Structure 1
Amino acid sequence: MLGDLLPQSPLVHVAVIVGATAAIWVGSGWLEEAAETLSGYYGLPAVVQGSVVVAVGSSFPELVSVLVTALVGVFDMGVGALVGSAIFNILVIPALSGLNAEGPLESSRTIVYKEAQFYMISVAALVVTFSLAVIYVPVPSEAIAGELTRPLALIPLALYGLYLFIQYQDVGDADMETVRDGVDIRREWGKLAAGLLVIVVTVERLVASVESLGTTFGIPEFLAGVTIVAAATSLPDTLVSLRTAEAGRGATSLGNVLGSNTFDLLVAIPLGVLLVGRVEVNFSTAVPMFGVLTAATVLLFAALRTDLSLTSRESYTLLAAYALFVAWVVAETAGVTELLRGV
């Protein structure tokens, strides 16, 4: 592995983070450009482009992190980082996109009434799935815990199947014009695949260096996981959404955020369970985090519904809400508050 060949010093890790960020910038550019061209080629609406094509691609780092943590037996860490990433996506990425856009970031009724509401259903479905694990496959523990099994993992996967079906129906209803003149379809699919490969490889190195720096400077694992590591794995989503917002495609930018989170919750976590058969989850930690995620989603929903746009003032409100979340996580880590059990 590349990490084994490099000196383990803070300066080297900082250099790796800078280099990985630059590589992710390039890879996300390939992904966004190929997705836009392919969406035009196949006649996909902007919302579907953002919520499925771009979102699934930019969610690969989160998917890989969950699969790896499931294989090595620290699934709770993967879930914690994924929920932290989802909170970052909901609060920080739309805020930065709104500040980066020329004028208010334009939303739409489709984003508000379909994407955002389906995402809230996704959060509720995963909480119900965790609850069923505690009820039917309880695990003796100081905290409330249960085991997620393969049959339980099929519940959120089935819901994601419904999500794809709805998107498929919307593509037919939209009747978009296709743009096929001058498009080399093999080249665009190759660019999309290359962008995904660059993102997956470089994010793995980025996260490893971030975790090493956290260990060096004594940052607690839980705090680093739900904030720093979560932000690192969300970097592709951030760059893609910033690019599309700057280009004036607010629907694609916001669709990427909501679609990426929907994929993470309904696909990434269940696939980790299907891979290893069964995994233990700490209900006492997961549910309060999902509560924060639900509150963050409601805040974004309310901001987007006002005039169907995101203003600078609303963007700063979202950033302030994320700052409060980080302050709460720090308080939990320091033992000032005790809403999370088993951390």
Structure 2
Amino acid sequence: MIIAFSLVGLGLLLLVLGGEALVRGAVTLAARAGVSPLLVGLVIVGFGTSAPELVASVEAALAGAPAIAWGNIIGSNIANSLLILGAAVMITPLVLERATALRDPLIAFVAALAFAAVVLAGHGHWLVGLAGLLAIGAYVLAAYFKGKADHVPVDIPETGQAHWAVALLGVLVGLGLLIGGGKMLVMGAVDLAELAGMSQTVIGLTVVAIGTSAPELATALVAARHRQMQVVFGNIIGSNIYNLLAIGGTTMIIAPAPLSPDLLLRDIPVMLAAMLVVLLVALFSGRLGKLAGLGLLASYAIYIAVLAIS
């Protein structure tokens, strides 16, 4: 138990340090490369901080525990949309430009609907996984070219003067710390959960999902403190898309089997509802403040409480 607690503590420390390095480097690269912070959040930060989810899901699939892998994917998207977004806007309000911010939440929600359809149909074939990987590849290319075309100059006086090589090194070091810290946190958390007698599905939905989402949380809180909320939003949306298409696709290729229909009774509807909230914010409001953040955090707390009770 002492080792498990030590892994959790060290993992959290590495996550904080990694999040700081990643945000500073990524925002500087946005200024240097001529792309928007939103695009950097979607591709570099969003996908990079999802690396622990990929590692955990692949390890679970290879170990013959796909319930943990799929629970991790669903639980991570719920945590991204409720816990991480809620915590970030409690620090700094989120203000979006609807013209540029609607596309990606819509893609994320459509990907979630497709995920639910696969579960409902009972399909479990490696071709389904391949389709997910092809879709994420097409999305990244489209996001890059659209981001270049819509670029608005970024003024970042504190970090924008750094050399691009220094910024790239910061991104790589930050990602390394995030991946290492996330892995340590998951290892310790899973050990503690097993001592408490939790099932594989619940471990995937809660302990592993929250643990592997810790890089997104650390990065989002650091970015919010620096008032880089476009990076926060891009981080969340990019991570959601990556979880469903890339990690889900990889897991389906490694372990091609139908997903449990029990996921449709509670967890997938919660994921769809959470991602729909993000989409509606981008479509109608474009702004989230502390009151909304408190509502998101409360919703996540209720969901975790229901899991614990059931």
The TM-score, its normalising length taken from structure 1, stands at 0.82
Residue 192 of structure 1, CA deviation: 2.0
Deviation sequence 1:245-270 (CA, Å, 0-9, x none): 22222222111101111011110121
| Counterpart for residue 46 of structure 1 | 37
| Counterpart for residue 17 of structure 2 | 26
Q: Does 1:242 align with 2:221?
A: yes
- Name the amino acid aligned to 1:262: I
Residue 306 of structure 1, CA deviation: 5.1
CA distance in 2, matches of 1:213, 1:74: 18
| Counterpart for residue 290 of structure 2 | 312
Deviation sequence 1:168-216 (CA, Å, 0-9, x none): 2322322444899854333332332222222222221211111111122
The TM-score, its normalising length taken from structure 2, stands at 0.90
Q: Does 1:253 align with 2:232?
A: yes
Q: Does 1:219 align with 2:210?
A: no
Residue 43 of structure 1, CA deviation: 0.9
| Counterpart for residue 88 of structure 1 | 79
- Name the amino acid aligned to 1:284: P
Deviation sequence 1:11-50 (CA, Å, 0-9, x none): 3322221121011111122211211121211111121011
| Contact 1:303-1:314 at 8 Å conserved across structures | no
CA distance in 1, matches of 2:286, 2:165: 37
| Contact 2:19-2:174 at 8 Å conserved across structures | yes
Residue 153 of structure 1, CA deviation: 1.3
| Contact 2:182-2:211 at 8 Å conserved across structures | yes
**Number of matched residues?**
306
Residue 310 of structure 1, CA deviation: 0.5
| Counterpart for residue 271 of structure 2 | 293
Q: Following superposition of structure 1 onto structure 2, how do residues 45-194 of structure 1 map, counting pairs within 5 Å?
A: 45-101=36-92, 104-110=93-99, 112-131=101-120, 134=122, 146=123, 148-177=124-153, 183-194=162-173
- Name the amino acid aligned to 2:22: L
Check 1:230–1:181 CA distance in 2 against 1; reply closer, same or farther (3 A cut): closer
Q: Taking CA–CA contacts closer than 8 Å with sequence separation of 6 or more, which of the two structures ends up with the larger relative contact order? A: 2
Instruction: Quote the sequence identity (%).
Output: 22
| Contact 2:14-2:180 at 8 Å conserved across structures | no
| Contact 2:101-2:282 at 8 Å conserved across structures | yes
Residue 111 of structure 1, CA deviation: 6.0
Match among 286, 301, 307 for residue 323 of structure 1:
301
